[in-house]
Homo-oligomer: A and B are copies of this chain.
Amino acid sequence: MQRYFPILDWGRTYNKTALTNDLVAAVIVTIMLIPQSLAYALLAGLPPEAGIYASIVPILLYSVFGTSRALAVGPVAVVSLMTAAAIGNVVEQGTAGYAAAALLLAFMSGLMLLGLGLLRLGFLANFLSHPVIAGFITASGILIALTQVKHLLGIDAHGHSLPALLGSLGAHLGEINPITLALGVGATGFLFWVRKGLKPLLHRLGIRGILADILTKAGPVAAVVVTTLLTAGFALESRGVAIIGEVPRALPPLTFPPIDMALISELFMPALLISIIGFVESISVAQTLAAKKRQRIDPDQELIGLGAANIGAAFTGGYPVTGGFARSVVNYDVGAETPAAGAFTAVGLTIAAVALTPLFYFLPKATLAATIVVAVLSLVDFSILRKAWAYSKADFAAVAVTILITLLAGVETGVSAGVALSIGLHLFHTSRPHVAEVGRVPGTEHFRNIHRHDVECDPTIVTLRVDESLYFANARFLEDYIYARVASAPEIRHVVLLCSAVNAIDFSALESLEAIDARLSDMGIKLHLSEVKGPVMDKLEKSHFLDHLSGEVFLSQDRAISALARSGKAAAE
């Protein structure tokens, strides 16, 4: 029971100190989340209230089912962009169908996450390699910033890839609204200054610690207040500045995702990608924060928590959500101790939804776009290209391809191409493993590469150390390698495979070993194994391989060489 309801664990020891800390954290996070939620809804192509709704019930459900103490669940930038891309391909933005498709996407994503969690399939997320994630996040950051440029300029533009967005922006460049531009550029500049220059200033003024942090995080709120007052005061909306307008004063509504088979099949892949990317983002944040307090995150239970949160979003007018980096870090920094802080945040946002929404009437969309641009540009980090290049060309290829394809063809194609490429390159490398021919280091029991060390060899014995598990992708490679080696030297009588680095032998490799043994026998050569690991030996003993093996299995390479050299000498005499 406790496994599926972590709330039973932390709820039992909840006390007044924790309550106070959680309440303080909730107030601060609520203030930060209001503009953020509106902005991400805008990014997803949804009405602003959808962002608020997506931040209420999902947080509550996560606090019941999630295992992280500090994770704040709600709309995040990358998932909002993916939502816009997924639905934009199927339904036109601004229609009733668009919001309904967002509910369905959240519902499908929720069911997928829940299913993966219940089936304990969280490991599937591992197939997103770090280079692919890094490349994807960087390229997404650029795309997200570009989608907001239209709001900063006050023009119309569409598209989910770099060429489409640039083309669309270029076509409408003549329609720039100068007042919107001034507000947008002003807000963006102000927010960049808050991020970079405010903290040093506060420090010089003697304001440090948590207060300085809160003031810095409140930058977007200040931008919202100032630009809203400016717009309202000078009636800028009548001069072409796009504003948020009417936001309903209401509790999150009860909504039902439309069950439309055609739509479900079109949204299947996007929902899967959103689920997996959302999960990876969320679990990375959760693990980082948990490690600081020696707490533990259960990845499969996290899937259940995020699944519940998304299903909650689907039934309360939201859209796909996940654990966000920025909001979680703030939540942690300002002292949240348990998921109850999330629940209190939900209460704060509910109050905002019921009481504060009229205040956003004159809020310019350009201000929200500025908060998004400033937030996502911190995601853009090309240094991964340099780091990956220095470490391994294969990882570099994975980053570069993911960035390029994401920019050129959009988020779904980009991340799929990255995953396919990184799996392909991994298989490629393991299909051509490093094979060292080894000989004895004189006077020792060590055996090292004959090309790197000065070692003793017997010309009738070849010892090969394969630095990889033997499986179908490299089974034939090993065959080719051995045949080539023995064809070049007719004096060879023994081939020894040193298996210290062989962690597994699958059925294909077993059949290859049988074929190698049979063919070597035809040439009058014996095949031996040495230093076979326990689990590998267990499996070999289940097959008939060892019964037919022309040579022997030696416990150590030293014993193998000693025995074979003795038998060679005996034969010569």
B506 touches A129 (CB 8 A): yes
Give per-residue flags for A440-482: 1 if the beta carbon is below 8 A from chain B beta carbons, else 0: 0000000000001000000000000001110111111101100
Tell whether, in the assembled complex, residue A477 and residue B522 are in contact, meaning their CB atoms are under 8 Å apart.
no
Contacts of A518 in B (CB 8 A): 291
The total of chain A residues at the interface (CB under 8 A) is: 77
Could you tell me the distance between the alpha carbons of A543 and B423 in the complex, rounded to whole angstroms? 23
- Looking at chain A's contact residues, is the secondary structure mostly helix, strand, loop, or mixed? helix
A503 in the interface (beta carbon within 8 A)? yes
Q: Is the CB of A507 within 8 A of B131?
A: yes
Complex CA–CA separation, A431 to B299 (angstroms): 15
A215 CB, min distance to chain B CBs, angstroms: 27
Asked if A508 and B123 make an inter-chain contact with CB atoms under 8 angstroms apart, the answer reads: no
Smallest CB–CB gap between A173 and chain B, Å?
38
Residue A164 CB within 8 A of the other chain: no
> Looking at the complex, which one of B125, B130, B426, B483 makes contact with A511 (CB distance below 8 Å)?
B130
A262 at the B interface (CB under 8 A) = no
A553 interfacial contact with B, CB 8 Å: no
User: For residue A452, which residues in chain B have a CB less than 8 angstroms away from its CB?
Assistant: 534
Say which residue of B131, B290, B503 sits within 8 Å of A468 (CB atoms): B503
Render A528-540 as a binary contact track against B, CB cut-off 8 A, 1 for contact. Answer: 0000011100010
Q: Given A391-B542, A523-B294, is A474 in contact with B434 using a C-beta cutoff of 8 Å?
A: no
Chain B residues closer than 8 Å to A388, beta-carbon distance: 507
Seed contacts A126-B472, A130-B511, A292-B519; 13 additional CB < 8 Å A-B pairs: A123-B428, A126-B473, A126-B475, A287-B515, A291-B483, A296-B487, A299-B480, A390-B543, A391-B510, A391-B539, A391-B543, A500-B501, A501-B503
21 A–B pairs (Cβ distance < 8 Å), ordered by A: A123-B431, A123-B473, A123-B476, A127-B473, A129-B472, A130-B511, A287-B515, A294-B490, A294-B523, A295-B487, A296-B487, A299-B480, A387-B543, A390-B543, A392-B507, A395-B506, A423-B423, A426-B471, A452-B534, A467-B535, A500-B501
